[in-house]
Amino acid sequence: MYRVRVRSVPPVVLALRRFPNPRLTGIGAGLFAALTMFVLACVDRLLFDSSELVYGLLFLPVSALTALWVRPADLVTAPISVPIAFAVGVFPISGGSEGFGGQVMGLVTALAVHAGWLYGGTLVAGLIASVRKVRLMRARRRYVLAQGRGPAGPAGERAPRAAAAGAAAAGKPVRAGAGPAAAARRPQRP
């Protein structure tokens, strides 16, 4: 008799499956990241006296969650919205002086000083979004190949491309309307 081998799921995977798995639109992911960073910056200002290290360390998981929770159609927005969220959130801890000009100077200085954290969080979001996109493309390709609609599908579907590929492989130039029917339509030069 054949034995069916049942694989048990590791406890870490079971714990991760209990976490929420929302799918946010691009705007929703940007709003999530911006509001979360603003609230975390306010908490940082109250509890840790505007610590740059705490704010930077909190920015990295927010970047990762933003890239994980954005829906597949809006993956490109994750690495774009994360730096905007960083700039929105750094305002409470920027430490500018009185007046509008002093606040803007404090914000610009804080962005320049925190550039390492900003690049790190953007890199995290970009890598996660890229890996998710590659996995989606592979899954879509596997699905298409399993349905029989891939490159080796019905001959009638891909015949013009196959003929052009054969002509290109033979070293002949391929141009639009280069078939025998096109030759009959073209006027002949004297």
Residue-level pLDDT at 1: 58
Beta bridge partners of 70: 24
Q: Where are the domains of the chain?
A: 22-146
* Arithmetic mean of pLDDT, 113-138: 92
**Model confidence at 172, in pLDDT bands (50, 70, 90)?**
low
Residue with tokens 């609230």: 39
Residue with tokens 């954005």: 70
Check if the beta carbon of residue 86 is closer than 8 Å to that of residue 121: yes
Supply φ then ψ for residue 94, to 5 degrees.
-70, -30
Question: How many angstroms separate the CA atoms of 169 and 172, rounded?
Answer: 8
Q: Which two tokens stand for residue 100?
A: 């509008």
For 31-53, the pLDDT digits (tens) are 999 999 999 999 998 998 888 88
SS3 70: strand
Residue-level pLDDT at 177: 56
Rounded CA Rg of the chain = 27
CA–centroid distance for 101 within its chain: 35
Question: How many angstroms separate the CA atoms of 177 and 45, rounded?
Answer: 69
Q: Which two tokens stand for residue 101?
A: 């000009």
